[in-house]
Amino acid sequence: MPGSGKTEFAKMLKEKGFQVISMGDALRKRYEKEARHGEKLMDFAKRIREIYGEGVVARLSIEEVPPSAKLVAFEGVRSLYEVEEFKRLGEPIIVAIHSPPQLRYSRMMSRMRQDDSKDIQELRRRDLDEIKLGIGGVIAMADYVVLNDSSIEEFKRRSEEIIQRILR
- Minimum separation from the CB atom of position 164 to a second copy (A): 14
Alpha-carbon distance of 25 to 19, in angstroms, equals 14
- Judged on CB neighbours under 10 Å (0-12, 13-18, 19+), 159 is buried
Could you say which of 30, 47, 98, 107 contacts a second copy (CB under 8 A)?
98
Of 62, 109, 145, 166, the residue at the interface with a second copy (CB under 8 A) is 145
> Smaller CB distance to a second copy: residue 25 or 127?
127
x-marked contacts with a second copy along 63-82 as a string, rule CB under 8 A? -----------------x--
For residue 22, the surrounding DSSP H or E stretch is: strand 19-22
Alpha carbon distance 152, 5 (integer Å): 9
Q: What CA–CA distances, in Å, run from 164 to 16, 23, 33, 153? A: 10, 24, 39, 17
CB of 130 to a second copy, least distance (A): 7
Stretch that binds a second copy, among 32-40, 42-50, 108-116, 132-140 (CB under 8 A): 132-140
**2 makes contact with a second copy (CB under 8 A):** no
Give the shortest CB-127-to-a second copy separation in angstroms. 7
Tell me the C-alpha distance between 134 and 162, whole Å: 24
Those residues with Cβ within 8 angstroms of residue 163's Cβ, 6 or more apart along the chain or in another chain: 12, 13, 16
Residues binding a second copy (CB under 8 A): 1, 80, 98, 100-102, 127-128, 130-131, 134-145, 147, 149
